Amino acid sequence: MNTSLNEARSRFLQCWGEMGSCWGINKTMAQIHALLMVHEEPLSTDEVMRELNISRGNANMNLRSLVDWGLVRRSFKKGERREYFQSEKDVWRMFCTIARERKKREIEPVITALQECLAIAGRDRDCAAFRKQVESILEFVKTADLMLGKISQQQKSRVLPLLVRLLG
Amino acid sequence: MNTSLNEARSRFLQCWGEMGSCWGINKTMAQIHALLMVHEEPLSTDEVMRELNISRGNANMNLRSLVDWGLVRRSFKKGERREYFQSEKDVWRMFCTIARERKKREIEPVITALQECLAIAGRDRDCAAFRKQVESILEFVKTADLMLGKISQQQKSRVLPLLVRLLG
DNA sequence: TCGTACTTTCAGAAAGAACTGAAAGTATGA
DNA sequence: TCATACTTTCAGTTCTTTCTGAAAGTACGA
């Protein structure tokens, strides 16, 4: 098999794994995702284990997480009991999926927590400065949340013109 | 001192620390940042150590990181040798600073790495599918990079109208 | 130049996250 | 019902990151 393709692939897996770590995503999960992204054909758990040199438990757990995130689909070959996994390939749809999940898992809980902070603080005069700061953070996070929600519902083609306007 | 304010503060520190972890930021660093955000007055290393119950080394290291990120400024009180630290309070400016830093530290290196992947792969026919996928990822990351760069240069007042259009 | 009041560094310790692999669980077809 | 071919779980281990605290470094005024 083409050596430079192999080398390029493994460079890509490494890159994607590191990027994941930066953004709070398990490195192996990111690498499995990368692996599936650059394979047209669905891969089995055993193939993933072999390609990344990881244990069955690890492969299974991270494949499941990817399915939970909606980035990877289980797929079956007729006449085979074994399950295969296939990644979403379209980058914009991947982005939308990730945005929706992080919104739900991470941003919305922060909004709730900040609202709790304000509720706990109450309205005493000596809380005024604290309230003001937390309120402005909350407002920002809410706007970001709303925006992420809207953007991740759009077709890519509808977002591009806005970007052009912004970048122009 | 007002108990509910204390409770609200510590809830806020906890919340910000957890959020940091989600996004690949050291929890203690995020908590120090939170602590400084809700204090009008600059705090000394010893005050930070006391409030968060952490060691001198830890406090020193994370305060330095925050200064490196440009989120916190050193400040001095006249007649005192000790240094104090003060956080940027404006949320939009905080966001811009973080965006610029992550762009520089994390996004630009990914662009370079992806370009390397393409260079390694070369133009053989059996690389075509790989190239196509990596190219579309690269295009997306470049657009995100460009956009983050533009947005984080804007005044908040110039971004809001765009959001309104988008959200409408 | 020395003593004081601080800041920085870093080797080792602790905590936390991720991983392994064997055992248990499950589905299928004969 | 059983054997087979898989998937899932989880207790224990390994790896990574973060933290500690004492020692070294630095700056200043007397």
The predicted-structure confidence for B73-110, as pLDDT tens digits, reads as follows 999 998 899 999 999 999 999 999 999 999 999 999 99
Phi, then psi, of B72 in degrees rounded to 5: -135, 140
Q: Is the CB of A27 under 7 A from strand C?
A: yes
What's the rounded Cα separation, in Å, for the pair B88 and B69? 11
Percentage of chain B surpassing pLDDT 90? Answer: 89
What pLDDT does residue B159 have?
86
Per-residue b or e along B14-28, where b marks 16 or more CB atoms closer than 10 Å to that residue's CB: ebbbbbbebeebebb
Task: Please give the structure tokens belonging to residue A7.
Answer: 């080398």
Residue A1 DSSP code: -
A48-55 long-range contacts (CB < 8 A, ≥24 apart) are: A48/A85, A52/A13, A52/A28, A54/A28
Percentage of chain A surpassing pLDDT 90? Answer: 89
Give A39: exposed, middle or buried? Use CB within 10 Å, 0-12, 13-18, 19+.
buried
User: Sorting pLDDT into bands at 50, 70 and 90, what band is A86?
Assistant: very high
Does B120 touch chain A if contact means CB atoms closer than 8 Å?
yes
pTM to 2 decimal places: 0.95
Provide mean pLDDT across the span A3-9. Answer: 95
What pLDDT does residue A24 have?
95
Q: Could you tell me the sign of the dihedral formed by the alpha carbons of A133, A136, A138, A141, in that order?
A: negative
For residue B11, the tally of other CB atoms under 10 A from its CB is 19
Q: Which residues pair with B43 in a beta bridge?
A: B85
Q: Express each pLDDT in B9-19 by its tens digit.
A: 999 999 999 99
Q: Express each pLDDT in A28-65 by its tens digit.
A: 999 999 999 999 999 999 999 999 999 999 999 999 99
What's the rounded Cα separation, in Å, for the pair A147 and B59? 35
Residue B24, phi-psi category: left (phi > 0), alpha (psi -120 to 50), beta (remainder): left
Question: Is residue A7 predicted with pLDDT exceeding 80?
Answer: yes
What pLDDT does residue A77 have?
93
Does B153 touch chain A if contact means CB atoms closer than 8 Å?
no
What does the DSSP assignment read for A53-119? T--HHHHHHHHHHHHHHTSEEEEE-TT--SEEEEE---HHHHHHHHHHHHIIIIIHHHHHHHHHHHH
What pLDDT does residue A126 have?
93
Q: Express each pLDDT in A103-124 by its tens digit.
A: 999 999 999 999 999 999 999 9
User: Sorting pLDDT into bands at 50, 70 and 90, what band is B1?
Assistant: low
Q: Express each pLDDT in B40-81 by its tens digit.
A: 999 999 999 999 999 999 999 999 999 999 999 999 998 899
Residues of B in contact with A137 (CB under 8 A): 37, 91
Q: Which residues pair with A87 in a beta bridge?
A: A72
Q: Is the CB of B10 under 7 A from strand C?
A: no
Q: Express each pLDDT in B143-162 by its tens digit.
A: 999 999 999 999 988 888 87
Does A23 touch chain B if contact means CB atoms closer than 8 Å?
yes
Q: From residues 44-83 of A, which are strand D contacts by CB within 7 A?
A: 44-46, 56-57, 60-61, 63-64, 80-83
What pLDDT does residue B35 have?
98
What pLDDT does residue A159 have?
86
Q: Do A163 and B140 touch (CB under 8 A)?
A: no
